[in-house]
Amino acid sequence: MEAGIFSLTEKHFIIGTLVSEIQYIFELQCKQKGIKFEIHCDHNVQRLSFNSDIGRIKQILMNLVSNSCKFTTKGGIDIFIKLKVAKSLAGDSERVLEFTVSDTGIGISNENSKNLFKMFS
């Protein structure tokens, strides 16, 4: 992935399973640091299923949350998962998941945030 060369593997997954896995991985770690950790995802959204590369989605989320845990010393971390409807290029409506990781840590500079999802050369 770092070299910008990777393949996507589309699989069927349920949002609630992803939420549970992320919660399991980071809840204790944050509790031990004395910081709050919450995932905000409507129960109706948790029941939804999607076809996407769940491995890549989980990898990105875990990297973001791991960095949040590392650089947050007080306050907490919140993950927001929202369902949105967008128009595809063909003009059809499609469901889109929006993930937001928010923390009270030192943050990412504006300069570095522009490069978060750019390929490494």
Summarize pLDDT for 30-39 with one digit per residue, the tens: 999 999 999 9
Alpha carbon 43 to its chain's center: 17
Res. 110: pLDDT tops 80 = no
- Give the model's pLDDT for residue 30: 96
- Please give the average per-residue pLDDT across 85-113, as a whole number: 85
Domains and CATH numbers, the chain: 11-104 (3.30.565.10)
Residue 50 to residue 14: CA distance in whole angstroms:
6
